[in-house]
Amino acid sequence: KNQVEQSPQSLIILEGKNCTLQCNYTVSPFSNLRWYKQDTGRGPVSLTIMTFSENTKSNGRYTATLDADTKQSSLHITASQLSDSASYICVVSARTNTGKLIFGQGTTLQVKP
Amino acid sequence: DAGITQSPRHKVTETGTPVTLRCHQTENHRYMYWYRQDPGHGLRLIHYSYGVKDTDKGEVSDGYSVSRSKTEDFLLTLESATSSQTSVYFCAISDGHSYEQYFGPGTRLTVT
């Protein structure tokens, strides 16, 4: 069964600190992995997209890694800011005609001053 | 929100009544999607469209129908709303060439 699991479910950190969010998946055949940021009351916004051949991608203070062999990904946030408080969703796309997306349940991050 | 609007943004309705949610895009993208988001679940695909009048079911399509008569509009209809359809509904669009999907702001629907 195609699944995407994220950990931790929630996380509280102090402003300025770094953190790492984890994503494990069992989607096959694999096409690409995305990380989205979802602010409260808003739609998800794409942070990074990685294909099978990419093992790291950065977007400002966000760095995503992908290990296609172990089917794991991480999202590292550097020097956190209050505006990083959001839900972070890992999404894996299957290599099918429809490009079906399988969504994780998300990690809720709270950054405190 | 990448030129995507959803209406209404909030709606409260009674069980058994019909409800239509609208997604409107200004990007001229070919693909449009309807998802629902519930606590304890990731976003789940309800229906999607790959062109005008071309639609297909997602993983949670029971109780929902869709229509796309113009490139820019994708309608989601609940023929007879039930309390289990209380959720936040997101529309998304994609051009089909990149991997990007752009999401709308969402519609919060409450069925009492």
pLDDT tens-digit profile of B28-40? 999 999 999 998 8
- Contact yes or no for A43 and B90 at CB 8 A: yes
Residue A12 has pLDDT above 80, yes or no: yes
Q: What is the pLDDT of residue A97?
A: 62
In chain A, residues with a C-beta closer than 8 Å to the C-beta of B3 are none
Least confident of A56-70, B12-26, B89-103: B89-103
CB contact set of B43 (below 8 Å; sequence gap of 6+):
A44, A89, A101, A103, B35, B36, B37, B90
Query: B15: distance to nearest CA of chain A, Å?
Result: 24
Mean pLDDT score across all residues of chain B: 94
A20: left (phi over 0), alpha (psi -120 to 50) or beta: beta
Tokens of A34: 């995305």
Whether A90 and A38 have beta carbons less than 8 Å apart is answered as no
The pLDDT of residue B96 is above 90: no
Q: Calculate the alpha carbon distances from A77 to A63, B15, B105 in Å.
A: 7, 43, 24
Cα–Cα distance, B1 to A44 (Å, whole number): 9
A102 to chain B, any CB pair closer than 8 A? The answer is: yes
Cβ(B105)–Cβ(B7) below 8 Å = no
Q: Mean pLDDT across the stretch A58-75?
A: 96
Asked if the Cβ–Cβ distance from A89 to B101 is below 8 Å, we say no
B47-76 tens-digit pLDDT: 999 999 999 999 999 999 999 999 999 999
- Which of A4, A43, A105 comes nearest B1 by C-beta? A43
> In degrees rounded to 5, what are phi and psi of residue B59?
-80, -20
pLDDT over 90 at B2, yes or no:
no
Contact A105 B48 (CB under 8 A): no
Please state whether the peptide bond connecting residue B18 to the residue before it is cis, i.e. omega within 30 degrees of 0: no
Q: Using 50, 70 and 90 to split pLDDT, how confident is the model at A72?
A: very high
